[in-house]
Structure 1
Amino acid sequence: MFKNYLDNYKNFPKEIWILTLITFINRAGTMVIPFLSKYMKENLHFTYNQIGWVMVFFGIGSMIGTWLSGKLSDLIGFYKVMLFSLFASGIVFFMLQYITTFEAFCAAILILTSIADMFRPAMLVSLNTYTKKENRIQALTLVRAAVNLGFLFGPALGGLLIMQVGYQYLFYVDGSTCILAILVFAIFVKEKKLPFKLKKHIIPEEKYTIIRDKPFLLHLGISMITGILFFQIFTTLPLYHKEQFLLSEFDSGLLLSMNGLLILLFELPIVNHMKRNKTDNIKIILLGLSLMSVSYFLLLIPWSGILIVMMLLMAFGVMFTFPFANSFAMSRAYKSQEGKYMAVFTISYSIAHILSTKTSMAIIQHYGYNSNWIFMGVLGSFGVLLCFTLQKMVKKEKIATKKKIINSLFKSNI
């Protein structure tokens, strides 16, 4: 059984393993992110409304960063974008601890996420360069496994560090790990250049523009809903743990680490199983959204043990949504436009971050936590209905494509 599990990780090139390593270093080091809301509430004494606005700037910066990454990855290559993003975000993390006023913190978070979120779209494009087409979803899942391994250690260590020495050392750790990650990347992975220049066929923008890809646009809406549900575990849930159940930062970190451990153990085997059985991506996303919705409805039960059950369902919901959402988005992208498609796809999560925190903080301030959990559960249920619509749309598109192929064959024989 253990051998079968290890077999899931075979046959990846060196570059993918290095990408996986730096992703782990970077994610394990970003200890402050899960506790950012608590830091603003308890150390900077921001109101719920102010915390919501800071997270709005977090999301806006993420949108700017992903848009720039898509443009620059297609223009100068993903390699340079990744180098700049990790190094510069490390410097900004060092500076963040010295900023205490609301306006300045909003500006700093905007700058930080604009730089840091240039990394992800460029990294997604790099998977196309360093892996074969048939191995891309496994490579993506391997990198996500590194994210979750970092997520396993980061929150627990971060919570422990906060309890022992305070928040200020977390910013040093975050900055140092960004710079360490980019040093490892620069030393062991070299920019892959073609031995000769390919003559590209330019696809007319008016014909293949993203705005006309209706299934892709609907998928963006579904991904946005998924992101809104997911980002709650970094923003409102740590506050809820403290205010409702009096959990310490270390206890909250352990719950988040459980999420990372489950995803680390089960995501890649699940992805490989689904791929072997040729399960439809949209069906899997539908199942994942259903689990995420149920997890929020469970929080209405006033029992501390439900936090573990909730995190269990959320972990499997994440496993059934994120890898397959990435795969579906990449499958819609035309050659030479992958950077643009993946940037737009990633921006949907940036918008989700804005909506998730700002909406939730407003609901909690005026109506309480239970109203927020009901809202999240209902929103997830709406996402499930959109998945059914997307299934029908894709099926209709496939039938239309087959008809076109058949018609073209008959016409060519006349």
Structure 2
Amino acid sequence: MRVNSAVIIPIFLVSLASILPTGCHSPARQVEQTVEPAPVPTTQTSDSGQDRVGVIIDVDETISMTDYPSLIFGARTDRSKPYDRARNVLTNLSRQFDIIYLTARPQWLTGHTRKWLKDKGFPPGPVLTTARMVDVYWPGSFKKRVIAALRRISPNLLIGIGDRHTDAEAYAANGMLALVVNPRRSAVYPEHAEVLKDWSAIEAFFEEHVAVLRDPQALQTRYGVGGAPLDPSAVQTRPEVDLSLLVEIPLLGPTLLIESIAKTALAHEQAEVRRVLKQVKTLFPEVLQQVTTRFGEENLLKLRLTTGKGAAVYIVTFLREGRVYSVELDAVLETTHEAREVVFLTDDAVTARKHARLLTFAEALARSLNELEGQVYEIELEMDDNRPTYETALMTLGRFFEIEVDAETGEVIEIEDETAIR
């Protein structure tokens, strides 16, 4: 799938125009590069010729019995388990409906959430998270805003499934049919929400009403859905009484504060990148070609454009006689300092370089730019989940993305928005 930078727009957390074109056009196949890259699809239609109805799915306590301590502090050993029947029901629904996962988990858990869904056998679909700490505590306003933006682009997003009253309120406020699963005993849900005991009840509900639920017009007639969504810019973040997450994870607040500090540093770094990209005259692929010729494809580990004393410089990390070195080049690729040996944090790159049949840096860069056009400022070889990958960092329309490519197969594994300030 090629994502045209001309349609990437900064709406909250995601470039929604690149995720959901007008109508509901199988977003699972369009965005979820981490699961199964695919060419740009045509509009998905039901047997009746209607565009497919989209279903938004909450994650925590809706499909996941979330073990918050292991999720937050040990994502690689996450002990969360799927609710009984959730995977099977959603797999069946994905054959007739488009699936989107919307959660107020912090953005740094996006990749882990995708992996958990895939490992547990859930159907593929975009995974939308939040970049703001306040949304983790008060997710209702966050979901209202995001759903409002989604429905403006894909009006056939008409069904939402969640467990909290804030989920149901966000769905209902944006003209969607709100289905509540695993309801909380003390919660008060919106009047028009369908409250269902568990995923077996969800399955029975869809089986009984499938003809209506698959048809946008019938949905509107039967349940009164499909009205205009909220204005995303008018939705304000409001405190919510349910702060159960703080009870589950007392250390979540300090953890997110640390993340906020890290984002501030990242924002400064990205501001520097903006400035340096305005200074350089030579395109990054041309620089990469010259650097590769000079240092050797078999030795190159990383090329990064950055600043040194206010001027544009390139940092080249490379192998020499089995050791890792770093050297700084100026804008015309003249050496400014002698190469220095790099002692730390190089094992992954060296391990990746030992793999046979790697794509070249130029080939990996071309794959990345074929997915998303932009100004490249970094490409590196590394190991991720025990396989060699190339990671390309670029800026497009003022936003920063990282594109991960399998270094052996050329598969685009993930495209992630890393913009610090949204």
The normalised TM-score by structure 2 is 0.26
As a proportion of its length, which structure holds more strand? 2
Larger Rg: 2
The structure, 1 or 2, with the larger RCO (C-alpha pairs under 8 Å, 6+ apart) is 1
The normalised TM-score by structure 1 is 0.26
